[in-house]
Structure 1
Amino acid sequence: MQSVTLINHPCSVCGQPTSQWCSRCQSVWYCSPEHSKADWASHRHNCYPPVNSPATYSVNMIATPPPAEPELITVTALYFDPEQDRSEVISVQCMPSRKHSHGVCPTPLLQVYFPAGSPEGIAVTQGLNGENLRFPLHLWYCPKSLKMGAPVNRSVHRITSNAARKPWCGPVVVLKFNGSRRSSYMDAGSNDLPALSAYFLGYE
């Protein structure tokens, strides 16, 4: 085992001087394994290994619980089911980015809506009359469904009043960015339908 110089730091739970630290993030100090476990509910949200730092082992390290898993984020989205006449509001869970990926948008878990293949995303940044959207939309679709001549999406067909230049095929899920930086999502709803109608009308 690697030897280290013993330097006392205050325990994160009780403040007692200690030379033991979290074995994963190596940045939080505990006087005992019991206090490490007691603090885990809070500490787990920020417990990540140092970036680009080789693993080190020491008698001073306190073993931590399994790696912290980010909590899923839930937002509402619009779902255009190919076999339904109207879109519906659904709840979508998103996997947040790791701490060192700050500013990266969470990943929506959408596979259940796209049984024919993996979905891809398109950013819709303009609404009616070409005005820029303050909160851009993130339209997810399956390229395979779009290209293989799947049945026309009835709910998309409805909001365009059958006036689209080209019919849209396959399912669509639409999330809403929280701003122009597109770093996270906010709830989408029926107020976003006019902008989507404009997008589908111009789709070629």
Structure 2
Amino acid sequence: MSDRDTRHKASMQKLKARVDEKVANATEQRGLIIVNTGNGKGKTTAAWGTVTRALGYGYRVGVVQFIKGLWECGERNRLEDDPNLDIAIMATGFTWDTQNRAADTQACKEVWEDAARMLADPEVYLVVLDEITYMLKFGYLDIDTVREALKNRPREQTVIVTGRNAHRDIVAMADTVTDMQEVRHAFSDGIQARRGIDF
């Protein structure tokens, strides 16, 4: 065995020992709060990937879309017929298009009722609150309302919160936070969003 192979094997043995120790120490079983935030692309896409994973195991899943509801969504198109998936949509479109705070606030509160129902249901294994960060930022939803619903949800339920500028209280509650940072985005260079790739 060469010196490089010997060093590689020793390095992998140390890595395996560290990984095995972490696995052995992970003894708690419960649902999580996961936050996908940051100005990079892929927050909602990552959440839909987890939705697909949970549905693949036959779990019940709820998705609440607060911003992109009227926009085409390939993931939603593919999965919406699954009997274990419950989707609620704030059907006003992008807030920067509507420009109507009162109407957007009312629409947000109506779809939040669906979210609150899902968050209280012990049969729902995963809830995605897609783009809810904007609802908090614009003041359409009260942070205390959202925080209490997250805190009082069933123990086995996981919640994924997506959107830029996640509220500090939600980040503080979260078990896993991923901050997706933009390095380069085609749209900034005048390239249109592509069906089947971007939506």
Classify the TM-score, shorter chain: under 0.3
TM-score, length-scaled by structure 2: 0.23
- Structure having the higher strand fraction is 1
Q: Which has the higher contact order (CA 8 A, sep 6+)?
A: 2
Q: Which has the larger radius of gyration?
A: 1
TM-score, length-scaled by structure 1: 0.22
